[in-house]
Amino acid sequence: MTTLNKLIDQIKTELSDEFSQRLRKILMNQDKEWLVEQIISLTLSRDKQLVCGIHPPTTQKLALALEDKERKHRARLERISKIQLDEDKLAQIIKRYKRLDREQLEAQGYLNNPPQKGTALITNTERSSKGNELLLEAKDVFYALLFGDKDTNVRFDRVERELLTLIVPEHKFHVIDFMVAVTQIGGEGTWKDPNNVSHDDREKNIILQTEYGEVESELISEGLLATVKIINNLEINEQVLYFRMIDVEQSSLVA
């Protein structure tokens, strides 16, 4: 008599070609830098797990993770299209974001007893529903400012290229892993907190660099700074983030 396991194996065999084709299609649409990092990470993780007697993640799990990433990416593009971002809309967003520093985010109920700044990440449960909505919007706007075009209803007359550099602690990097076409460099921090809350000295960091198109008014750079402040205050939760835009002459430590 055929067992359940045999039936499952038979289905897996029948679907293997379809699975491979779907996985290949998804991988072909991913950023090259991201794929390289994933392969290195999986290889190192597998070797470490084999030494400990732990089985590495299956190819199916990797495919599901990639599918989930692609689904979230499509949803982000759809949300960005609905914003219909241009310079007038961006100026309104910047004005609104500038009024929302960490103190105001807590006072107005965007945050619910978050951890002390400079310590752990802020989680969903430590933000209210409107706090989670604001964070999602800020990430969408951040992405749109860097990569948006007419296909996503982003209307900017980009007249020059700028280079954005952002340094994030390695263990918090996943917060902004939605960025594409980004150069990632490992580095160690050197900053020491005078209040002894969150030294950055010898901390493992990820240095992110990406090019973007700037408008004549340099409003996009101002918008990037405003959105990063919101993302930091609602999730990353660092006392200091290094954030620099070359040629704009606007370099800041985000607090």
**Average pLDDT, rounded, for the chain:** 81
Task: Band the pLDDT of 191: cuts 50, 70, 90.
Answer: very low
pLDDT for position 127: 97
From the list 176, 151, 150, the residue with the least C-alpha distance to 164 is 176
pLDDT tens profile 17-59: 666 667 777 777 777 777 777 777 766 655 555 445 545 556 6
CA dist., res. 236 & res. 115, Å (int): 11
Lookup result for tokens 């990353």? 236
Q: How confident is the model at residue 189 (pLDDT cuts 50, 70, 90)?
A: very low
Name the token pair of 102: 């960490």
CATH classification code of 84-254 = 3.30.70.120
Q: Are strands 204-214 and 160-169 parallel, antiparallel or unpaired?
A: antiparallel
Domain ranges of the chain: 32-75, 84-254
pLDDT, tens digit, for every residue of 122-158?
A: 999 999 999 999 999 999 999 999 999 999 999 999 9
pLDDT for the residue numbered 8: 60
